[in-house]
Amino acid sequence: MTEMNKGLEGVIASQTKISSIIDDRLTYVGYDIGDLAEHASFEEVIYLLWYYRLPNKRELAIFQEQLTKEMKLGHKIIASLAVIAHEKVHPMSVMRTMVSMLGVYDKDSEGDSNLSNYSKAMKLVAKMPTLVAAYARMRKDEVPLQPRGDLSLAGNFLYMLTGTEPTPLHVKAMNRALVLHAEHEMNASTFSARVCVATLSDIYSGVTAAIGSLKGALHGGANEQVMVMLAEIGDESNVVAYLDAKLAKKEKIMGFGHRVYENGDPRAQYLRDMCEELTTVTGDTKWYDISRAVEQYVWDKKQLKPNVDFYSATVYHCLGIDQDLFTPIFTVSRIAGWSAHILEQYEDNRLIRPRAEYVGETNNTYIPVEER
């Protein structure tokens, strides 16, 4: 057997044409993430990840129309959401359950043709923002809102969440966050999705598995923990003492470090810029200033750079979003990458089944329970 590799660090588990991270540069289908963050709509990015090319104007218009049509939630889904909306569980547990419910109420859930899988992928990317927004309202006893045909996915999401038409700056910020979180090669949640569907299980099962993996604080759950940390710091003058205490206890600083990037996550700078733009407009730069001070001190003390989760926390906070919805927003975006990987896995499938090195007891003999 080959040597054990804890955490599968550096192991290549499959080939992909969806995204690459080479020498700290992230590209989606060969397009630099900075270029996409600056210019692309989230809808274009979904198309790019599924079809390995950008859509032309007509293709994009049709794609957007299909997405908007699929955004609505059926009454059975709203009824299921009503049953759990007030449970005291993390919103990611609600999302995991509701995606599973989408599978329950999709008559085509077991369909395995290419057409059926693309159609289910479309339903999932379209319904994810509506689910998060509906849950956010229903847990506060507010009526869930229907998507509007005249808004982009980012705009619709903010509208359905808040009930008011978002400003162009807020739509730009949300769109940029969705583009930047959409895809990231063989991260833990994408790997979970691929492992699941490689058994020839269905797409809803794959996405349910992925949501479970994204929830954890070492992965997507870090963005919520970043906001918890910033709130605990509370003022720029507390940054050093707070971080010193954390590091002395050998605790991880959320939103820093990365398994793959050696010199920093390129997505962080675009979110930092967005964060600066948002806070400059509101005139309340407190959270941005604290974040900059944290970034500087963690670099000075540990030579660690922020990852995608660090500045996304302040961006969402500036958009007025509750902190426990930060990771669910990650699902609204990452469903693009998960679905692309699931479709790619089906295209050229092989069961994913690594080995474990056995380090337990050997040569035991069964003793009847009465004699133990």
Residues forming the site for ligand ACO (CB under 6 A): 7, 218-220, 222, 252-259, 302, 304, 307-309
Question: Please, how many CA atoms are within 13 Å of residue 294, restricted to the half-sphere of its CB?
Answer: 30
**CB under 8 Å, gap of 24 or more: what pairs does 114-122 form?**
114/346, 117/203, 117/342, 117/343, 117/346, 118/50, 118/343, 120/202, 120/203, 120/204, 121/50, 121/203, 121/339, 121/340, 121/342, 121/343, 122/66, 122/67, 122/70
176 lies in the binding site for ligand OAA (CB under 6 A): no
CB of 9 to ligand OAA, least distance (A): 10
Smaller CB separation from ligand OAA, 77 or 177: 177
CB of 260 to ligand OAA, least distance (A): 6
Size of the site for ligand OAA (CB under 6 A): 6
Contact 302, 253 (CB under 8 A): yes
State the binding string over 275-314 for ligand OAA (x if CB under 6 A, else -): --------------------------------xx------
Smaller CB separation from ligand OAA, 127 or 181: 181
DSSP character string of 81-140: HHHHTTSSS-HHHHHHHHHHHHHHT-TTTT--SHHHHHHHHHHHHHHHHHHHHHHHHHTT
Which residue out of 170, 181, 184, 258 is catalytically annotated? 258
Catalytic annotation on 309? yes
CA distance 152 to 107: 28
Smaller CB separation from ligand OAA, 180 or 293: 180
25 lies in the binding site for ligand OAA (CB under 6 A): no
Radius of gyration of the chain (CA): 21
Per CB under 6 A, the list member of 259, 300, 320, 354 interacting with ligand OAA is 259
Smaller CB separation from ligand ACO, 91 or 220: 220
Per CB under 6 A, the list member of 96, 123, 137, 184 interacting with ligand OAA is 184
Catalytic annotation on 258? yes
For 31, phi then psi, to 5°, come to -90, 130
Question: Residue 112: left (phi > 0), alpha (psi -120 to 50), or beta?
Answer: alpha
137 lies in the binding site for ligand OAA (CB under 6 A): no
- Residue 55: name its binding partner from ligand ACO, ligand OAA, none (Cβ under 5 to 8 Å by kind): none
- Residue 218: name its binding partner from ligand OAA, ligand ACO, none (Cβ under 5 to 8 Å by kind): ligand ACO
- Look-up of token digits 């969705």: 178
- Residue 245: name its binding partner from ligand OAA, ligand ACO, none (Cβ under 5 to 8 Å by kind): none
Token pair, residue 361, equals 């007891």
CA distances from 221 to 216, 218, 288, 312 (A): 5, 7, 20, 12
Q: Residue 73 in 3-state DSSP?
A: coil
Contact 36, 178 (CB under 8 A): no
Residue nearest to ligand ACO (CB): 257
18 lies in the binding site for ligand OAA (CB under 6 A): no
State the binding string over 68-107 for ligand OAA (x if CB under 6 A, else -): ----------------------------------------
Residues acting as catalytic residues: 258, 309
Q: Which positions lie near ligand OAA, rule CB under 6 A?
A: 184, 187, 259-260, 307-308
